[in-house]
Amino acid sequence: MAGRLTRRWSPSLLQVLRFPVVQLHMSRTAMRASEKDFENARNQLKLLTKDPGNEVKLKLYALYKQATEGPCNTPKPSMLDFINKAKWDAWNALGSLPKETARQNYVDLVSSLSPSSESSSQVKPAAANEKQPGSENIIVTSQDGITKIMFNRPSKKNAITTSMYKEIIHALKAASTDNSAITVFTGNGDYYSSGNDLTNFTDVSPNSIEETAKNASILLREFVDAFIDFPKPLVAVINGPAVGIVVTLLGLFDAVYASDKATFHTPFSELGQSPEGCASYTFPKIMGPAKAAEMLIFGKKLTAGEACAQGLVTEVFPESTFQKEVWTRLKTYAKLPTNSLRISKELIRSNEKEKLHAVNAEECTVLQGRWLSEECMNALMNFMSRKSKL
């Protein structure tokens, strides 16, 4: 198979892979590739001079089929039909990835292959130990089959700014098609993350508050969607306290490893806000409605041990051996067959996806209203004037 697939990378190979021309009719939404972007990407691909390698070609084929036809709908080729079997496997591995996500991933992947790619929205697929471009507040590296996305703003307890949300969305899109087997989030410094940067809402002029809340709601929805749709195993390595959105998102992760110095806090009522990250749905499922209410309504802070007992955390490690034990384990997991990892995740998660997208949309709408409330404005002012700390 390798011999046949490593033929020249030229338009003729496109014919070998039989890319059909299909008209797409999809709405243009923020951060989603338009029909034109998709068409441009197809043309850009024909101009490539360098062979991107079999693995990338198979990914391109699979994303193209998913974007134009949806989930794999053809019979599995025989084991001896190597090329078609490899193509079928790659397409089938995308499971029920939505067409528009596949289209965006296709555009991202093609632009990462182009030597002229300059836009900040274009993130390269991870090569071994390669650091991805972007601000220094999010560091993306890839090594040993693991793409690591690290919050890197330790002086602000890794609080997440508006641009960091956008960078994380791009990093997740790139990681979904890179060569890594699993993707891991962690924090640099003593905190995992103190959640949303509260100054996202304070550096706003009074006559643009409503527009800011609306834009934040759109961005938040897209951010959380990127986690819901992420196709590979997603792991959180919680190195210290976690607050707000980085806690709620954990319900969308496949494994959560915590140092025994980590804590888990969702002080939404204190902030005049409401849950996000699909926690209003995932937390009651994970820990039962009573324990979820204590966290999400009353803002009870959990120790790592408590969070583990309630099913939010997979395992707790002593701080002294945390990094060594967790990364050793993750490197072993990352050697497992990549397609099998994806397919098993898909089986576990796919039934919930539609529901999760609906919950996300609802939570974002409610939060948009909360951000404009007097309760929320007072809480932000308190934080800024340092009258209260969590």
Ligand X SMILES: CCCCC/C=C/CC(=O)SCCNC(=O)CCNC(=O)[C@H](O)C(C)(C)COP(=O)(O)OP(=O)(O)OC[C@H]1O[C@@H](n2cnc3c(N)ncnc32)[C@H](O)[C@@H]1OP(=O)(O)O
Does position 166 interact with ligand X (CB under 6 A)? The reply is no
**CA-to-CA distance for 10 and 46, rounded, in angstroms?**
7
Q: Which residues of 39-56 are buried (b: 16+ CB within 10 A; e: fewer)?
A: eebbebbeebeeebebeb
Does position 245 interact with ligand X (CB under 6 A)? The reply is yes
Contacts of 90 (CB under 8 A, 6+ apart): 58, 59, 61, 62
> Which residue number, 143 or 188, has a Cβ lying nearer to ligand X?
188
Choose the binding region for ligand X from 6-14, 144-152, 216-224, 254-262 (rule: CB under 6 A).
216-224
Residue among 9, 61, 91, 165 that touches ligand X (CB under 6 A): 165
Site for ligand X in 37-96 (CB under 6 A): none
Q: Which residue is nearest to ligand X (CB)?
A: 244
Choose the binding region for ligand X from 80-88, 157-165, 250-258, 302-310 (rule: CB under 6 A).
157-165
> Which residue number, 40 or 382, has a Cβ lying nearer to ligand X?
382
CB 15 within 8 A of CB 60: no
Query: Comparing C-alpha atoms, which of 149, 200, 137 is closest to residue 173?
Result: 149
Does position 387 interact with ligand X (CB under 6 A)? The reply is no
Does position 276 interact with ligand X (CB under 6 A)? The reply is yes
Residue among 32, 156, 329, 357 that touches ligand X (CB under 6 A): 156
Choose the binding region for ligand X from 1-9, 19-27, 76-84, 382-390 (rule: CB under 6 A).
382-390
Q: Which residues of 343-353 are buried (b: 16+ CB within 10 A; e: fewer)?
A: bebbeebeebb
**CA-to-CA distance for 335 and 145, rounded, in angstroms?**
7
Provide the token pair at 272.
């005049």
Residue 229 Cβ, how far from ligand X at the closest point, in Å?
18
Does position 147 interact with ligand X (CB under 6 A)? The reply is no
CB 180 within 8 A of CB 336: no
Does position 199 interact with ligand X (CB under 6 A)? The reply is yes
CB 147 within 8 A of CB 180: yes
Residue among 113, 243, 316, 380 that touches ligand X (CB under 6 A): 243
Does position 240 interact with ligand X (CB under 6 A)? The reply is no
Choose the binding region for ligand X from 5-13, 155-163, 291-299, 321-329 (rule: CB under 6 A).
155-163
DSSP 387: S
Residue among 194, 239, 282, 360 that touches ligand X (CB under 6 A): 194
Contacts of 86 (CB under 8 A, 6+ apart): 1, 5, 54, 58
Does position 167 interact with ligand X (CB under 6 A)? The reply is no
Bridge partners of 14, per DSSP, are none
What residues make contact with ligand X under the rule CB under 6 A?
156-157, 159, 162, 165, 194-200, 216, 219-220, 243-245, 267, 271, 273, 276, 383, 389-390
